[in-house]
Copies of this chain bind each other. A is one copy, B any other.
Amino acid sequence: MNQQYPSQLLEKAVSEFAKLPGIGRKTAMRLVLHLLRQETTAVERFGQAIMTLRREVKYCKVCHNLSDTETCRICSHPGRDASTICVVETVRDVMAVEATQQFRGLYHVLGGVISPMDGIGPSDLQIESLVERVRTGNVKEVILALSSTMEGDTTNFFIFRKLAPLDVKMSVIARGISIGDELQYADEVTLGRSILNRTEFTGTI
C-alpha cells in the first residue's frame, strides 16, 4: 500500500519505531501518534532514557550482567555466596532466577548460546571468562541454567568439557513437569525425562 506520510518528520519517527522487533509500520504509527499527544517533556524523557541507557550502561566485569557500576549489585553484595555460579544466557534470565528468591549465589551471563545456524560460536560468548573465574576463584559449584533446547544442550556440553579438568562440581537445573501441570497435557519428551530423572519421595515435595 502506497501510504504517503504527510510529514517527513513523522515518516522518520515511524520508520525508526518499525525497526524494533515485532513492530510493524501500523503499530509504529499508532505509537508515534500516541507520543505526539503527550507533553514535549514526556517525549524528551522517553528519548533521553533510551539514549542515556545505551551510552552509560555497563556490563559487570565479573558476571557480564547489565549494571550501572563496574561490578554489579549482585557480584558486589557481601551476603551472596561467591562459591556458586549460575550460568545463564541473558539479563532476563538473571531477573527470572532472582525473582524466584531461591538462589543466593552469583551469576555468569553468557550472552546467548552456541548456535551455528545463527553464526554464534563459543568465542562470541562469555565462556573463556567463566573458565577463568572457576580457575582463579574459589568456586565450588557451577549450575547450568540454559534453555532446554538443542543449542542450550550443546552449550552445556561445551562448558562441561571446558570445566571438566578443573575441580568443580557441575549441575543442570531440573527438567520435568511444570508445577501445576496435568500429565495428559505434558509433551512426551518432558514426561519421559521426568520419569527417568525421578527423585526419591520422602513424604513431602
Please list the residues of chain A having a beta carbon within 8 angstroms of any beta carbon in chain B: 1-10, 12-13, 15-17, 19-23, 27, 29-36, 38, 40, 43-58, 60, 65-68, 72-74, 90-92, 94-96, 98-99, 101
Contacts and interface: CB of A to CB of B under 8 A. Distances in A.
Number of copies of this chain that the complex holds? 2
A96 B5 CA distance: 10
Given A6-B67, A31-B20, A66-B7, A49 B13 contact: yes
Contacts of A65: 6
B33 A57 contact: no
10 contacts: A6-B66, A7-B58, A9-B49, A21-B31, A22-B30, A23-B31, A33-B91, A33-B92, A43-B50, A44-B54
A132 B165 CA distance: 85
A16 B50 CA distance: 8
B1 A68 contact: no
Given A3-B96, A5-B95, A12-B52, 12 more contacts: A3-B98, A6-B73, A6-B94, A7-B72, A12-B53, A13-B50, A13-B52, A17-B50, A21-B34, A32-B50, A35-B50, A48-B51
